[in-house]
A and B are shown apart, each in its own frame.
Chain A
Amino acid sequence: METNAVLVNPKDNIAVAIKEIKAGETVTGIGDLELQANEDIMRNHKVAIAEVAENEPVLKYGEKIGFASKPIRAGDWVHSHNLKWEED
């Protein structure tokens, strides 16, 4: 299967889509993890590869890029609608 995502750092809980990933499609390029996208993920956007509870950190480059503003499921698109910069 063609690679459609990149895990930038092994500690991360999101991957970056390098192609558009349609809802239901398998997310590849993230190691042995079995994962389907819950919604369409635009190219270069983030897809959660693990569950992130509300107020828990979202990690990219192995570092915090913000916190879940609502519960995030593995396979969800991650962007401004569910990722806040600062903790409440």
Chain B
Amino acid sequence: MGFLGYRRPDGKCGVRNHVMVLSSVSCANGVVNAIGREVPEVKAVTHPEGCGRGIADVEITGRTVAGLCNNPNVASILIVGLGCEFMKAPQLAEQVQASGKRVESLVIQENGGTKKTTARGIEIARDMLAETGTLEREACGWDKLILGLECGGSDALSGVTANPLVGVAADWLVARGGTVILSETTEMIGTEEVLKKRAATPEIGDKLYGMIKDHTAFVKEALGPFASMVISPGNIEGGLTNITEKSLGCIIKGGTTPVVEVVDYGAQPSTAGLVIMDTPGSDVFSLTGMAAGGAQILLFTTGRGSPVGFPIAPVVKIASNSELFNMMEDDMDLNAGRLLEGVSIAHAGDELVDLIKRVAEGEQPKAEANLQDCLSIHTVGPAF
């Protein structure tokens, strides 16, 4: 059993069949957007990176952008660069070619400027659409699916209803040989002992423990007097006593299986199972990292209400309470608030799994239908 998806030359399976037009540097964003306006069927993806950063960020940006190209939801890629940037479009295209996908690059400084590059980009994009439009869905196993997990705009019920519900889906997929990425290191603070015990090997446990401890120290240093805001006065008034309690409510999204790998931001897991990715807690950065890691579907729980989606991977919204589900019904896909109204977690879990199957085969969750295409690449240093 599995889903009908798009098989890629590298053996991966997409749940979508996107042509992505991507900038290699922020200076090319105008051309990418111009192509996107003319050919709205493509996913025009822009970001503020690609130049003027230190070595660590060059590495993260390169890995993330290449990862987005390698995401199986993407069929073909046109990369638009400026010419004098650090992360060059042709080099990036060459790197992605290993996936066997069609990848082309255009350099604005070599193509006679904005209008000529846009015109050429439109031609290439239309040709890619014609080509990928003939692809048909084929049977793919659940072992080909990577789910990315996210919680944002959380409330006191996120950790009681929506996150445990996502944990059920996580266990369901891992049992079928699939992969689940749990991210948001900021929201693991205080659970390092718990997660260490859940690691598949002592080495993975030590890596995980170190990752969370390092991040805790970083948060203290970077946020100074605001470090305690990682658990906010609002959280405490809402009934959460400390950061461990809050974080346990976040990591329960990952379900109950052992942690089999810890990966850097935007890096692809090398094994199936529950994988932890080192990302910021901030939602869009975290979603971007997991999609670069290959996640085809993103499950996003929210209590206050987040409308956020992602350009190349459908985002499924799970509301923690019925008030939110009714108030923002145009943004919400599933109401976990019903767990407090007599619906069993087993029943709601079946519904979520069924929704994942439908989304894998093409049903658009609200954020996707709303074109809530949000993307931000994580950085660690200043811009120069």
Contacts and interface: CB of A to CB of B under 8 A. Distances in A.
B9 interface: no
Contacts of B342: 3
Interface residues of A, number: 22
Contacts of A45: 239
Interface in B84-100: none
B236 interface: yes
Contact of A18 (B164, B236, B242, B340): B340
Contacts of A85: 241-244
Nearest to A8: B160
A6 interface: yes
A46 B160 contact: no
Interface string B235-262: 0101101111100110010000000000
Interface string B120-139: 00000000000000000000
Which of B194, B236, B241, B243 has the largest count of A CB atoms less than 10 A from its CB? B241
Given A16-B160, A44-B156, A61 B252 contact: yes
A19 to B, nearest CB: 9
B160 A65 contact: no
A35 interface: no
Contacts of B249: 61
B164 A8 contact: yes
Interface in A55-77: 60-61, 63-66
Which of B159, B164, B248 has the largest count of A CB atoms less than 10 A from its CB? B248
B160 A80 contact: no
Contacts of A61: 159, 248-249, 252
A78 B239 CA distance: 9
A36 B127 CA distance: 70
Interface in A1-43: 3, 6, 8, 16-18, 42-43
Contacts of B194: 63
Which of A3, A42, A61 has the largest count of B CB atoms less than 10 A from its CB? A61
A46 B340 contact: no
A83 interface: yes
A80 B235 CA distance: 12
Interface residues of B, number: 21
A79 B245 contact: no
A17 B241 CA distance: 14
Contact of A65 (B156, B164, B238, B242): B242
Interface string B7-39: 000000000000000000000000000000000
B343 to A, nearest CB: 12
Contact of B239 (A3, A42, A66): A42
A85 B342 CA distance: 33
A37 B315 CA distance: 41
Interface string B164-191: 1000000000000000000000000001
B245 A3 contact: no
A21 to B, nearest CB: 12
A66 B244 contact: yes
Contacts of A16: 156, 160, 239
Contact of B241 (A18, A63, A64, A65): A65
B157 A60 contact: no
B248 A6 contact: no
Interface of B: 156-157, 159-160, 164, 191, 194, 236, 238-239, 241-245, 248-249, 252, 339-340, 342
Interface of A: 3, 6, 8, 16-18, 42-46, 60-61, 63-66, 78-80, 83, 85
30 contacts: A3-B340, A6-B160, A6-B340, A8-B159, A8-B160, A16-B160, A16-B239, A17-B239, A18-B160, A42-B239, A44-B160, A45-B239, A46-B239, A60-B245, A61-B159, A61-B248, A61-B249, A63-B191, A65-B242, A65-B245, A65-B248, A66-B244, A66-B245, A78-B241, A79-B239, A80-B236, A80-B241, A83-B242, A85-B241, A85-B244
